[in-house]
């Protein structure tokens, strides 16, 4: 059954998916950082093997590269959280500028500057700031390349390298900003889902409070007025006081009857409302769901029992499968109404049935119906409920489903 426990399960599942998305996003940045670090590490190995640099310098560069990688990941997390740690940004910029000087020994180190620009832009969003970061990176690296070229440098080399390296920085910044934008969208969707759930609870509380006020307001006011009148009339007119108290008793009984009727109404599960609710719950959990159109014409007791079947079936889809699709159909066959729920991603069957299916079997038996729950192969699970109709309807025309 879908109640408080099921809502908590859905919320927990959404939280797990959100945390998984966060770790996946951070992982993509980590892979990029690891890739550039590995490439620069291999270039250091080549430089040391060729005798271009000595062992002390090689060790110093390896330590600097490791420190830059750590700061890179810290800046990624800060950018994903919307923070801008100025100290770490300045320190990482100085470290990137110092390490990029190795471009004179190996051209691959020119990528370290655009790599820093791509993570700095996460913490300092805004078109002007990003343009300044790319232009500053391009200017520093263009100067390094001119110095490294020495006598081979020409007057057009610096502006050419400046434009080229600024563009490379811009491309890497755009890639990181696109990833950051996707993360922001996921954050907003997660926050909107939580806000929608809180709003639904608040609206239901307001509706319940409004209904109780409408039900009890008049009767309680009547009880209060007649009680006060009976108290005043007791010394002078006991018969009138007894009559007033009789009215108070009747008003109290009427109020109690109306409250009980209201509570029964809240407890009644309607099939059309349940189908709409279940579809929204499943699709919020990432399960594509099709449901039948409003069946109409079903007796209330049969519609209520089928609504419980849909509710329990949706709970099982969420708890006991990794479903991506669930199809619900409703049809009339030879004087019976048949409801089927089929979902994919079903996990291996456990021994016996749970209490939920047992309860459904008992509910259906009370109206002369039956329940079937079975794995049909290829990871699919079928839940079928058949209930005889009071007035047999021949034919076999199923109600259409809407996606």
Query: How many CB atoms are closer than 10 A to CB 341?
Result: 24
Confidence at residue 351, expressed as pLDDT on a 0 to 100 scale: 55
* CB-based contacts of 7, cutoff 8 Å, min separation 6: 197
Domain boundaries, the chain: 4-190, 192-267, 271-402
Confidence at residue 395, expressed as pLDDT on a 0 to 100 scale: 45
Given a cut of 50, the residues of the chain with pLDDT beneath it are 1-6, 393-403
Spatial distance between the Cα atoms of 153 and 161, rounded to a whole number of angstroms = 11
Query: What CATH number should be reported for the domain whose range is 271-402?
Result: 3.30.565.10
Confidence at residue 151, expressed as pLDDT on a 0 to 100 scale: 77
Confidence at residue 266, expressed as pLDDT on a 0 to 100 scale: 57
Confidence at residue 163, expressed as pLDDT on a 0 to 100 scale: 93
Confidence at residue 402, expressed as pLDDT on a 0 to 100 scale: 42
Picking from 103, 108, 107, 137, the residue whose alpha carbon sits closest to that of residue 120 is 137
Confidence at residue 325, expressed as pLDDT on a 0 to 100 scale: 92
pTM of the entire structure? 0.48
Confidence at residue 381, expressed as pLDDT on a 0 to 100 scale: 92
Spatial distance between the Cα atoms of 184 and 339, rounded to a whole number of angstroms = 41
Confidence at residue 1, expressed as pLDDT on a 0 to 100 scale: 38
Rg over alpha carbons for the chain, rounded to the nearest Å, is: 35
pLDDT in tens, 117-174: 988 988 888 889 989 999 999 999 888 888 888 778 788 888 999 999 999 989 988 8
Assigned CATH topology for domain 192-267: 1.20.5
């Amino acid at each position: 059954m879908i109640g408080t426990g099921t809502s908590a399960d859905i919320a927990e599942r959404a939280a797990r998916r959100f945390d998984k998305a966060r770790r996946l996003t951070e992982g993509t940045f980590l892979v990029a950082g690891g890739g550039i670090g590995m490439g620069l590490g291999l270039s250091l190995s080549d430089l040391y093997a060729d005798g271009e640099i000595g062992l002390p310098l090689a060790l110093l560069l390896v330590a600097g590269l490791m420190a830059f990688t750590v700061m890179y990941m810290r800046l990624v997390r800060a950018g994903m959280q919307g923070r801008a740690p100025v100290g770490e940004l300045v320190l990482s910029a100085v470290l990137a500028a110092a390490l990029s000087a190795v471009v004179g020994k190996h051209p691959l180190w020119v990528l370290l500057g655009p790599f820093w620009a791509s993570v700095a832009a996460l913490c300092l969003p805004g078109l002007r700031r990003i343009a300044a970061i790319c232009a500053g990176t391009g200017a520093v690296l263009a100067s390094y390349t001119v110095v490294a070229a020495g006598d081979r440098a020409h007057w057009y080399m610096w502006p050419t390298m400046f434009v080229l390296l600024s563009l490379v920085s811009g491309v890497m910044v755009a890639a990181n900003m696109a990833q950051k934008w996707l993360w922001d969208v996921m954050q907003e969707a997660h926050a909107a889902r939580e806000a929608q759930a809180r709003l639904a609870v608040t609206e239901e509380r307001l509706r319940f409070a409004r209904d109780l006020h409408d039900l009890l307001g008049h009767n309680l006011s009547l009880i209060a007025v007649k009680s006060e009148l009976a108290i005043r009339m007791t010394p002078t007119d006991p018969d009138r006081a007894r009559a007033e108290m009789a009215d108070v008793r009747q008003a109290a009984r009427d109020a109690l009857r109306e409250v009980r009727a209201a509570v029964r109404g809240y407890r009644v599960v309607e099939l059309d409302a349940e189908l709409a609710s279940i579809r929204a719950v499943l699709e919020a959990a990432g399960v594509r769901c099709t449901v039948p159109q409003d069946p109409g014409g079903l007796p209330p007791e049969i519609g209520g029992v089928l609504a419980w079947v849909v509710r329990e079936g949706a709970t099982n889809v969420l708890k006991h499968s990794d479903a991506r699709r669930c199809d619900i159909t409703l049809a009339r066959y030879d004087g019976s109404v048949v409801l089927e729920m089929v979902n994919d991603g079903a996990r291996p069957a456990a021994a016996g049935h749970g209490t939920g299916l047992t309860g459904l079997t008992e509910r259906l038996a009370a109206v002369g119906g039956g329940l079937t729950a079975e794995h049909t192969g290829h990871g699919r699970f079928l839940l079928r409920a058949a209930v005889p109709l009071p007035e047999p309807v021949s034919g076999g025309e199923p109600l259409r489903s809407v996606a």
